[in-house]
Structure 1
Amino acid sequence: MSSQIEITDYELFDVPPRWVFLKIETSDGICGWGEPVVEGRSKTVISAVEELMDAYLVGKDPRNVQKHWQTLYRGGFYRGGPILMSAIAGIDQALWDIRGRYYGAPVHELLGGKGRNKNKYYRWVGGDRPSDVSENAADLVEKGITALKMNATSEFERIETPTGIKEAATRLKEVRSAVGDDVKIGVDLHGRVAKPTVRQLLTELEPYDPMFFEEPILPEHNDVLPTIAEATDVPIATGERMYSRWDFKPVLKDGTVDVIQPDPSHAGGITEVVKIASMAEAYDVALAPHCPLGPISLAAALQIDAVSQTAIIQESSLGIHYNTDVDILDYVENKSVFTPSNGYLNIPTDEGLGVSINEKKVRKLNGDTDWHNPVWRYEDGSIAEW
C-alpha cells in the first residue's frame, strides 16, 4: 500500500432486476463497489452520480469518507431528496468498501467493531397485490425462515368498503394460521391507505399480532402518525422514503414511531444511516434497515447492523417477487456470505463491505433493465398509491 492514493476512474452498471452498481477505481489498484439507485429512476440517479463524481471526487483520496460525504451533501445549495441522497449513498458505500480493503478490515471494524455477530432477517411473501399468500408463507417457514413481511392491501379507496378491510384482515389471519405464533409477520401498508381509513384497518389487523405496521401513512403525512399510533398497540415502522437524519428528526421527537427503516442505498449510505441509528437509540427506537435491493446494499446494511445497538431485524430481497430472472446471489462470488442460519444472517467479515461482486456477470447484464413502478388507477381513472 502506498501512502498516496486517489480516485482514478469509476463505472456505473444498470443491471436487472432494478439495481445500479457503482465501481470506483483507485491509483492503488483497490476498487470499491456501491449501489446507488432509486427503483424506477435508475438513469436519473446514474446522471447524479456522474455529476458528483466528476465535480468532487475524481483525483481525491478515497479514504476521507466523512469529508467527502459532507462535501457531496453540503457542497450543493439544494440538498436532500431521493435522487441526490441515493447518489451519495452509493458513492459512500463504495468509499467505505475501498477504505476497508485498504486497511484490510471489514467496515464494521473501522466503525468501532461489531456489537453483534449476526442479525435476524425477514423474507418477503407474496407480491405487490396480495392474494392467497398463506401457502407460500408456510413453505418459507418449513425452510427455516422465522420472520416474514407481506403487503397488507392493493388499491384502497380513501374510505374503503367493509369488504376491502375484511379481505385484508382475512389474508393476515390466514398467514398467521399457516405459520403459527413463533413466526414474526411484518405488515407493509406501503403508504396506500389514507387517513380516513387507516385506523379502522389497523384495528382489524391487530388481532393477528403483526411484528409492525410499516408505512401506515405516506411520509408526507407523518404529522398524523401520533393519531394513528393511538389506534393500535402494534409497533409503528417507517422510514424507507426518508433520506437523512433531518427527515427522521420530527418522528423521533414526537415519540410515535417504534421502528425506523432507513435504506442504506437511499438515506445517504453507511455514513448517514449509522448517524440516524444513533439518533434512534437515544429515543429507544429500534432499527430495521430497509433493503429490497441487491447484494451491495444488503452487505452495507449488515455492516450498519453490526454497530447499531437497537438493530432488531434486517430486510433482504432474497427471493423477492421483483427478482424474477436474476437474484442477489447471481452477482456474488462469495455466495456463502448471505447464507442464512436459524433465521439469521451473519455479519460479513471479509475486507470492506465483505461481498465480492462477480464483475463478469455485471458486465454481461449491464443495460439489460428498464424497470418502472406500476401505475395503479381507481375505476374512475384517478391515480392510486402503489
Structure 2
Amino acid sequence: MKIVGFDTYLVQPRWLFLRIDTDEGVTGWGEPIVEGRAETVRECVHTLMERLVGTDPSRIEDHWQHLTKGGFYRGGPVLSSAVAGIDQALWDIKGKALGVPVYDLLGGAVRDRVRVYSWIAGDTAAELAAEGLARKEAGFTAMKFTPFQATPHVPGAALVKETVGKVAALREAVGDDVDLAIDFHGRLSPAAARRVLPLLEPYLPLFVEEPVVPELSRDLRAVVESTSVPIATGERLYSRWDFRDVLPTGIAVAQPDVSHAGGISELRRIAAMAEAYGVAVAPHCPLGPISLAASLQLDFATPNFLIQEQSLGIGYHAGTELLDYLVDPSAFAFSDGHVNRSDKPGLGIEVDEQAVREASEKGHAWRNELWHHADGSFAEW
C-alpha cells in the first residue's frame, strides 16, 4: 500500500481536517489544528506531506520520527499539531486496512466505556447553576466550567469571593454526585492561584485545570503544595519532553491534546510516562469529531485514563456541531455520561466527506478573543 494523495479542509467553527488517500482505496482522516492558526498549520501539513506521498502508510513510527526530527528546527504547536493530524490519519488507515479499531493496535481495550464531561458556561452563579442542572438532567455526571474573567495578578477580596461563590452555587445546585472540574485557563498568577485554591477545597473539585500558563510550569510544585485540590495541566504542552519537567511536580492529571501533542503515537507515550508518576490522563479535546474519535481510541487502551473532554454544546460552534460531519452521529451517543466502546475499524467513525467539502467551500478565519484589564493592559484569555 502506498500514499497517493491528500487534501485539507478548513471547516467551521474553527477546525482543520486532513484526508490521506492510498492506492488501495483506504482513506484515513486526521484533525491537525491550532485554534486561531488553522491556516498556518495547513501550510505545515502540506510541507510535511511532501515526504509521505509515495510511501507506505503502515510505517507510522518511522514517519513520526522523520516528521518530528527531520528538520533542524523542531517542536512547537504548529509543527506538533501538523504531525498530530497526519499521525491520526495513518492510524486510521492502518486500522481500516487490518479491519480492527485503533485501540486493538495499541494493545487492546482495558475498559468497555469511557466517561465524558460536558462544558457549561455562565457569567453569574445563577446562570452556572441553571446550566449545571440542565447538563445533569441530560445525563452527564461531570462538567467543567471557568468561573474567572480577566483576573489581575493579585485579585482583591471582592473578585475572589465572587469567583468562589460561583463554585459554591454550582455545587449546591448539582449536588455531590456530579463531579466539577474548574478551568483556570491560565488566567491566574502563581500567587493568585495559591490564594484561591484553598478556598475551593470545601467544594471538592475533581480537578483544577491549568492554574497558570505553561510558561510558568516551573512554579507548579508551589501551586500543587498549596492545596489538596488535584491539579491538571497539559493542553499547551506538545511532547513528552514538555511533560518531563511537569510530571514530577505533583500534578494529578495530565491533559495532552491528540491534535496538538504529536497525535496518537505521542499521547500513548505521554500517558505511559504519566502512569510512572501516578498521574491520570484526561485528554484535552474541545475540537471536532476526528480529534474526539482519536482521543477515545486512546482512552479505551490507556490504563490510567480518567475522563474525556468533548465539545458538544460547548458554546462557540455558532450553529455547527461535530456531529454534522459524521455519516453516523451515533458514534458519539452518550449514556449516563459515558460513551460505549465500538468495534468499528480505524478511528471508529465515518466522516461525511460531502458535508466536509461543502463546509470547506466557506471555510473560516476563527481567532480567539483578546482580553484587557480595566486599565487597558493585556489580560490572559
1:159 equivalent in alignment to 2:154: yes
Return closer, same or farther for 1:320/1:130 CA change in 2, 3 Å cut-off.
farther
Give the aligned partner of residue 309 of structure 1: 303
Deviation at 1:203, TM superposition (A): 1.8
Q: Does the CA-based 8 Å contact 2:198-2:228 persist in structure 1? A: no
Aligned counterpart in structure 2 of residue 124 of structure 1, from 119, 123, 131: 119
Q: Distance in 2 between matches of 1:197 and 1:252?
A: 22
In the superposition, the TM-score normalised over structure 2's length comes to 0.98
Amino acid at match of 1:313: I
Q: Distance in 1 between matches of 2:74 and 2:341?
A: 32
Q: Distance in 1 between matches of 2:35 and 2:307?
A: 22
* Partner SS for 1:123: strand
1:18 equivalent in alignment to 2:19: no
Q: Distance in 2 between matches of 1:282 and 1:227?
A: 21
Q: Distance in 2 between matches of 1:334 and 1:92?
A: 23
Give the aligned partner of residue 70 of structure 2: 75
Give the aligned partner of residue 141 of structure 2: 146
Give the aligned partner of residue 253 of structure 2: 259
Runs of 4+ in structure 1 deviating by more than 6 angstroms, as ranges, are none
1:322 equivalent in alignment to 2:316: yes
Give the aligned partner of residue 250 of structure 1: 245
Deviation at 1:31, TM superposition (A): 0.5
Q: Does the CA-based 8 Å contact 1:258-1:285 persist in structure 2? A: yes
Q: Distance in 2 between matches of 1:76 and 1:306?
A: 33
Q: Distance in 2 between matches of 1:39 and 1:140?
A: 26
Amino acid at match of 1:81: G
Task: Map residues 329-368 of structure 1 onto 2, 5 A cutoff.
Answer: 329-366=323-360, 367-368=362-363
Q: Distance in 1 between matches of 2:358 and 2:305?
A: 36
Q: Does the CA-based 8 Å contact 1:211-1:235 persist in structure 2? A: yes
Q: Does the CA-based 8 Å contact 2:197-2:226 persist in structure 1? A: yes
Q: Distance in 2 between matches of 1:203 and 1:57?
A: 51
Partner deviation per Cα, 1:317-352 (whole Å, 9 max, x = no partner) = 011111221111111112111001111112332110
Amino acid at match of 2:347: L
Q: Distance in 2 between matches of 1:69 and 1:347?
A: 27
Give the aligned partner of residue 63 of structure 1: 58
In the superposition, the TM-score normalised over structure 1's length comes to 0.96
Q: Distance in 1 between matches of 2:128 and 2:365?
A: 28
Task: Map residues 1-386 of structure 1 onto 2, 5 A cutoff.
Answer: 5-54=1-50, 56-126=51-121, 132-254=127-249, 256-366=250-360, 367-386=362-381
* Partner SS for 2:331: helix
* Partner SS for 1:133: helix
Q: Distance in 2 between matches of 1:214 and 1:281?
A: 19
* Partner SS for 1:185: strand
Partner deviation per Cα, 1:71-97 (whole Å, 9 max, x = no partner) = 101101111111000000000000000
Deviation at 1:380, TM superposition (A): 2.0
* Partner SS for 2:180: strand
Q: Does the CA-based 8 Å contact 1:8-1:59 persist in structure 2? A: yes
Deviation at 1:239, TM superposition (A): 0.2
* Partner SS for 2:245: helix
Partner deviation per Cα, 1:360-383 (whole Å, 9 max, x = no partner) = 111111043121010001122211
Q: Does the CA-based 8 Å contact 1:348-1:355 persist in structure 2? A: no
* Partner SS for 2:334: coil
Q: Distance in 2 between matches of 1:36 and 1:346?
A: 25
Gaps of 5+ in 1: none
Q: Distance in 1 between matches of 2:215 and 2:346?
A: 35
Amino acid at match of 1:145: F
Q: Distance in 1 between matches of 2:68 and 2:53?
A: 16
Amino acid at match of 2:17: F
Q: Distance in 2 between matches of 1:368 and 1:213?
A: 34
Q: Does the CA-based 8 Å contact 2:40-2:78 persist in structure 1? A: yes
Amino acid at match of 1:290: H
Amino acid at match of 2:42: I
Q: Does the CA-based 8 Å contact 1:130-1:150 persist in structure 2? A: no
* Partner SS for 2:238: coil
Q: Distance in 1 between matches of 2:113 and 2:104?
A: 14
Q: Distance in 2 between matches of 1:285 and 1:77?
A: 32
Q: Distance in 2 between matches of 1:286 and 1:160?
A: 31
Q: Distance in 2 between matches of 1:130 and 1:53?
A: 47
Gaps of 5+ in 2: none
* Partner SS for 1:61: coil
Deviation at 1:130, TM superposition (A): 6.4
Amino acid at match of 2:315: H
Q: Distance in 1 between matches of 2:368 and 2:154?
A: 24
Partner deviation per Cα, 1:125-145 (whole Å, 9 max, x = no partner) = 006x66621101101101111
Q: Distance in 1 between matches of 2:190 and 2:93?
A: 45
